[in-house]
Structure 1
Amino acid sequence: MTTSVLQSVRIAPAEVRDALSRHILVDGYHLVQDIEKSHGVWLHDAARGRDMLDFFGHFSTTPIGFNHPKMATPEFSRRILPTALNKPANSDVYTTYLAEFVETFARTVPEAMRRHLFFVEGGSLAVENALKVAFDWKVRKNLAAGKGEKGSQVIHFRQAFHGRSGYTLSLTNTADPRKYQYFPRFPWPRVRNPHLRFPITEQVLAATVAEEELAVAEIERAVAENPDDIACLIIEPIQGEGGDHHFR
């Protein structure tokens, strides 16, 4: 038996969009990031040979910028390479890399929380697992009180974005309905989002307070109309995709 090896592919920056569009949807920005030349808050566009101040942050997934100096040392490269080539984290197979990461991470959270860490690869799945914890807690509480298997609803806000999978599809309701409109969803209570508007004047603040009071009333009504069935309430401190909405 012989195994064929594909020739390595090299694509010039000017050809990136054409190459991608032959296989996937290409509706992103008209730039080609040079990963090696990007630095700090500056994204280097290889298509035009320019540095661009990055206010995007890859959907806020690059909070420390590009090529941070402390991540460009020979020691860091030596330690990161094995974890890039292999899977260092698994629920049943452990590594020193996993143990060192967990121990380091645990030092950054309150001591009372260090016994119950749970790591998930992805934002949507993190939200879903948080919801599962709430469902489990609420249903067990109701069963113990003789109220039956209830506790399966989530109060959430208009223009929220919590993900595009499973439970999160029932929460996401931003401007582009194609992200959720034809998928099965739960009719969970949805309330107004009393976000601030800028600049914050006395009139704006008064209007925000009034909206907050209406939102609280809607939340209380949802709880009253669904006795013992509300497992939790979920809110983004800042609604990003919903429109850069800041809450007080």
Structure 2
Amino acid sequence: MEAVAVDGITPQDVQAIYMEHLNAQGMMPMVLDMKRSRGVELYDQLSGRRLLDFFGFYASSAVGMNHPKMLSDKAFMERLTEAALNKITNSDVRTVHMARFLKTFYRVAMPDHFRYAFFIEGGALAVENALKAAFDWKVRKNFEKGYRREIGFQVMHFDQAFHGRSGYTLSLTNTSDPRKTMYFPKFDWPRVLNPKVVFPVEAHLEDIERREQLALRQAKHYFHTRKDEIACIIIEPIQGEGGDNHFRPSFLQALKDLALENEALLIFDEVQTGVGLTGAFWAHQALGVEPDLIAFGKKTQVCGILAGPRIDEVEDNVFHVGSRINSTWGGNLVDMVRFDRIMEIIEEDDLVG
């Protein structure tokens, strides 16, 4: 197979350049053929090998490489090029490209009963803005209850969670690899046992139920001892990096009930579980439990948060007050244009329930 060179750089040059300029430890020993790869078949430019993709770029590939409905769509390719030539600050400047994306997103991706969307670059920042929305909501709730100082800045989360590597999320992430969080400052936020399902469920049901009850007791204890301090409960509907850990819908519903009882918001981190991974567009739809906030990313290309009706229990929430949550770019327009077409493909081919 003839190796493709880009401006004189051949596939054989790639590893040396990466090692010279980056900490490239742990990277795959291959050079991806961007043109030849199709769907879940990836080609290595070094060896010519055809590889079956079980990786999906950290579960961020929605319809595989070089989908024919994308490559053959001239209008889409023109929109993609226009979006790529200039990086627009979507938080300030309107474009027909983003308007088209928004129409498709609200038609195809927006869950029933959800009202608001916010877009940003990066899954960790999506989670952070979900937390900020919850903090703002809880502090204002506490002011309404008579508090004269700001209170409501804690986040209940779970063992083996991965929610990102930035700011607030460092206090939540706790998987088996300590390098991702050690020596970085963290908040003392309440962490609860994760009563993950052990399969087959029937053979382990008694132990699963015991662990669920223990986790709920821990959560209730934290709500009791940290009264009005906990703004939200955050959980991945299926924990990814923590070990492909599943939870029973009844446990997730119990968390929702706890959040309602204690004036906290339930956040589902669907950065990895969204866009068809469970057969439904969002994992919570397959599980039958509706959260108050969703953090999304990866297969959506652009990241962000979605909010349901409970956010409007506070009139001046972050979706009503300008600049409470924002960023320079407001999400990447190229990603929006790409996901716009991906959603159309999902819709046209009926890929999710």
TM > 0.5 fold call:
yes
Unaligned runs of 5+ in 1: 1-7
Larger Rg: 1
Q: For 1:201 and 1:96, locate their aligned partners in 2 and report how far apart those are by CA, in whole Å.
A: 49
Structure showing greater relative contact order (alpha-carbon pairs closer than 8 Å, 6 or more residues apart):
2
Unaligned runs of 5+ in 2: 1-5, 249-353
Q: Which moved more, 1:36-45 or 1:70-79?
A: 70-79
**How does 1:25-174 map onto structure 2 within 5 Å?**
25-27=23-25, 28-73=27-72, 74-108=74-108, 109-110=110-111, 112-114=113-115, 116-148=116-148, 149-174=150-175
Q: Which moved more, 1:86-95 or 1:32-41?
A: 86-95
Deviation, structure 1 residue 88: 4.2
Match in the other structure for 1:18: 16
The residue matched to 2:137 in structure 1 has which SS? helix
Cα gap change, 1:111 to 1:157, in 2 (>3 Å): closer
TM-score where L is the length of structure 1: 0.91
Q: For 2:208 and 2:112, locate their aligned partners in 1 and report how far apart those are by CA, in whole Å.
A: 36
Residue type of the partner of 2:10?
A
Q: For 2:107 and 2:98, locate their aligned partners in 1 and report how far apart those are by CA, in whole Å.
A: 15
Match in the other structure for 1:178: 179
Contact 1:138 1:151 in 2 (8 A): yes
User: RMSD value over aligned CA atoms?
Assistant: 1.5
Deviations 1:190-228 (A, max 9, x none): 011111123x14232221111111111111111111001
Q: For 1:179 and 1:131, locate their aligned partners in 2 and report how far apart those are by CA, in whole Å.
A: 20
Deviations 1:92-142 (A, max 9, x none): 11111111111221113246434x221111101110010011001111000
Deviations 1:29-62 (A, max 9, x none): 1111111111111111111101111111111111
Q: For 1:206 and 1:42, locate their aligned partners in 2 and report how far apart those are by CA, in whole Å.
A: 42
Q: Which moved more, 1:88-97 or 1:138-147?
A: 88-97
The residue matched to 1:113 in structure 2 has which SS? coil
Q: For 1:247 and 1:14, locate their aligned partners in 2 and report how far apart those are by CA, in whole Å.
A: 45
Q: For 2:127 and 2:201, locate their aligned partners in 1 and report how far apart those are by CA, in whole Å.
A: 34
Contact 1:160 1:239 in 2 (8 A): yes
